[in-house]
Amino acid sequence: MWQLFQFPLCPFSRKVRLLLGEKGVGYDLVRESPWERRDEFLDMNPAGRTPVMVDDKGTVLIDSWAICEFFEETVNKAPMINGTAINRAEIRRLVAWFDEQFFADVVAPLMHERMKKRLIDRLSPDARVLREAMKLALNHLDYTDYLLDHRNWLGGATMSLADLTAAAHISVADYLGGIDWRGHEQTKRWYSGLKSRPSFRPLLSERMEVISPPQHYDKVDF
Amino acid sequence: MWQLFQFPLCPFSRKVRLLLGEKGVGYDLVRESPWERRDEFLDMNPAGRTPVMVDDKGTVLIDSWAICEFFEETVNKAPMINGTAINRAEIRRLVAWFDEQFFADVVAPLMHERMKKRLIDRLSPDARVLREAMKLALNHLDYTDYLLDHRNWLGGATMSLADLTAAAHISVADYLGGIDWRGHEQTKRWYSGLKSRPSFRPLLSERMEVISPPQHYDKVDF
């Protein structure tokens, strides 16, 4: 059985969990707060980041990209980087888009202001930073609306790792109150479909200590 | 023929170019300065980042990870993400290590202080930021020394995308005067071997306007 080291609001761990859920790979959750920089965790992953996966034989998988590619290569069920080489490049472009741009513009500032400041420093969030992150989130939702005007799913004709990655980051931003859904009907419909999937339900029911999500957060109809 | 949009000190474009060189894929260079946010470039890649590759048929490949996986999948020569699924996960972990940690700790601050400030804002670099980046570079070289004590190449028994990615980032940091090679013999020997490869020679001979590298930069013996 795999163990997955993570914390409830880690978007990169959520991405991996959605993939494992779709592929039917079982795992136990181990709570890890990377900001505590626990020695045993740093010995396992010198980068000090979640997610990390470990199995009974001592195999250690590190980094959400490496982990997703590993399970894509070793588990045939529910391929999530699929199609021609060009289709696969488009899926990976969008994974990188959400892991880098959306994370840096939206998720990282929200996590810093609403989670880390509260948990670690006992400080209040900076309203200016929150406003800027929420404004950038709207630009990103304009882009996903545009993609979904032209395609069934973000990465192409079928559901892919692009959708799982986007949903992972959007769900963390939504938990932290950073998403204004008004006026983004295509993305809302797409996200509602993902929320109803069995791979997504367990994530939506979990809570991070001290921080509560908005009312609509775990509802398929929102 | 492929066109590769890049600028001489883009580490992510260097990674792609080293891979293309090893695989014998031809391409023309197109100079792109992403900080100018040229409309035609943003139409091609809304993320506004290099590298981007375009072929005669209008195929557009975006993001260094997606591009490297594309050529790894479509060109059999010189496999660079090779071995068992676990080996491949280790290679990808190290690619992510250099693209994220080494880039954020070392390359990004050096590029900001020594390139962008000079080219765009006509400002002097902040000596404190430079010192911190150079200190973190030494920690990273300790880690590559450690890896090379246990393995022939960074990612395992054979040369891989981990080596190409590390060399790409280290070469940009070295160009910008950020690497003190004293006391890092294993990494120096490994880097000297990479520098002598035909895939690396053209990169080392290029110069970024206004900014000159240190004397040792393009020498195999340094």
d(CA B53, CA B41): 11
Look up residue A126 and give its two tokens: 């900076």
Cβ within 8 Å, pair A66-B143: no
What CATH number is attached to the domain comprising A8? Answer: 3.40.30.10
Q: In chain B, what is the greatest distance between 2 CA atoms, to the nearest angstrom?
A: 49
Cβ-Cβ contacts under 8 Å, A90 against chain B: 66
Nearest to B93 among A59, A63, A74 (CB): A63
What CATH number is attached to the domain comprising B185? Answer: 1.20.1050.10
Structure-derived torsion over alpha carbons of residues A204, A205, A208, A213, reported in degrees to the nearest 10 = 60
Say if residue A116 is in the same domain as residue A202. Answer: yes
B28 in a structural domain: yes
d(CA A143, CA B196): 44
Cβ within 8 Å, pair A62-B86: no
Strands of the B52-54 sheet, one edge to the other: B27-31, B2-6, B52-54, B60-62
Say if residue A200 is in the same domain as residue A112. Answer: yes
Cβ-Cβ contacts under 8 Å, A76 against chain B: none
Choosing from A74, A109, A128, the residue where a domain stops is A74
List, as own/partner pairs, every contact residues B58-61 make where C-beta atoms lie below 8 angstroms and the sequence separation is at least 24, other chains included. Answer: B59/A86, B61/A86, B61/A89, B61/A93
Cβ within 8 Å, pair B47-A85: no
Say if residue B144 is in the same domain as residue B103. Answer: yes
Choosing from B42, B74, B106, the residue where a domain stops is B74
Say if residue B69 is in the same domain as residue B111. Answer: no
A132 in a structural domain: yes
Of A123, A55, A124, A65, which Cα lies nearest the Cα of A93?
A65
A79 in a structural domain: no
**Does residue A55 contact residue A62 with C-beta atoms inside 8 Å?**
no
Residue A129: which pLDDT band, with cuts at 50, 70 and 90? very high
Residue A121: which pLDDT band, with cuts at 50, 70 and 90? confident
Which single residue is written with the structure tokens 């290099």?
A: B50
Q: Taking CA atoms, what residue in B is nearest to A91?
A: B66
Identify whether B51 is preceded by a cis peptide bond (ω within 30 of 0).
yes
d(CA A37, CA A23): 31
pLDDT in tens, B169-217: 999 999 999 999 999 999 999 999 999 999 999 999 999 988 999 999 9
Nearest to A89 among B47, B66, B86 (CB): B66
In order, the DSSP letters of A43-103 are HH-TT--S-EEE-TT--EEESHHHHHHHHHHH--SS-SS-SSHHHHHHHHHHHHIIIIIII
Which residue segment(s) compose the domain that A40 sits in?
2-74
Work out the minimum CA distance from B221 to partner chain A, whole angstroms. 31
Residue A141: which pLDDT band, with cuts at 50, 70 and 90? very high
Say if residue A109 is in the same domain as residue A135. Answer: yes
Tell me which DSSP letter residue A213 carries: P
Look up residue A112 and give its two tokens: 């810093």
State mean pLDDT over A95-112: 98
**Does residue A70 contact residue A20 with C-beta atoms inside 8 Å?**
no
Work out the minimum CA distance from A175 to partner chain B, whole angstroms. 25
pLDDT in tens, B85-94: 999 999 999 9
Cβ within 8 Å, pair B86-A59: yes
B79 in a structural domain: no
Say if residue A39 is in the same domain as residue A131. Answer: no
Q: Looking at the predicted structure, is the pLDDT value of residue A47 above 90?
A: yes
Say if residue B154 is in the same domain as residue B60. Answer: no
| Residues from A in contact with B at Cβ < 8 Å | 46-47, 59, 61-63, 65-67, 69-70, 73-74, 85-86, 88-90, 92-93, 96-97, 100-101, 143
Neighbours of B22 (CB within 10 A): 22
Cβ within 8 Å, pair B92-A61: no
Say if residue A120 is in the same domain as residue A53. Answer: no
If one counts the domains in chain A, the total is: 2
What share of chain A has pLDDT > 70, as a percent?
A: 100
Choosing from B47, B74, B101, the residue where a domain stops is B74
pLDDT mean across residues, chain B = 96
pLDDT in 10s for each residue of chain B, 222 residues: 999 999 999 999 999 999 999 999 999 999 999 999 999 999 999 999 999 999 999 999 999 999 999 999 999 999 999 999 999 999 999 999 999 999 999 999 999 999 999 888 888 999 999 999 999 999 999 999 999 999 999 999 999 999 999 999 999 999 999 999 999 999 999 999 999 999 999 999 999 988 999 999 999 988
How many Cα atoms within 13 Å fall on the side-chain side of residue B203?
32
What ipTM was estimated for this complex? 0.96
Say if residue B92 is in the same domain as residue B167. Answer: yes
List Cα–Cα distances, B79 to A175, B18, B88, in angstroms.
42, 13, 11
d(CA B187, CA B191): 6
Number of Cβ pairs < 8 A linking chain A and chain B? 66
Among A2, A97, A136, which would you mutate to test the B interface (most chain B Cβ atoms within 10 Å of its Cβ)?
A97
**Does residue B53 contact residue B27 with C-beta atoms inside 8 Å?**
yes
Cβ within 8 Å, pair B88-A69: yes
d(CA B175, CA B214): 7
At A4, phi and psi to the nearest 5?
Answer: -120, 115
Cβ-Cβ contacts under 8 Å, A74 against chain B: 85
Say if residue B98 is in the same domain as residue B59. Answer: no
Cβ-Cβ contacts under 8 Å, A100 against chain B: 47
Cβ-Cβ contacts under 8 Å, B46 against chain A: 143
Say if residue A158 is in the same domain as residue A100. Answer: yes
Packing angle, helices B127-150 and B185-195, rounded to 10: 90
List Cα–Cα distances, A195 to A55, A63, A174, in angstroms.
28, 24, 12
Neighbours of A147 (CB within 10 A): 18
Q: Taking CA atoms, what residue in A is nearest to B51?
A: A93
Would you state the pLDDT for residue A65?
98
d(CA B164, CA A77): 32
Pairing between strand A2-6 and B27-31?
unpaired
Which single residue is written with the structure tokens 């980042």?
A: B49
Say if residue A52 is in the same domain as residue A99. Answer: no
Would you state the pLDDT for residue A18?
98
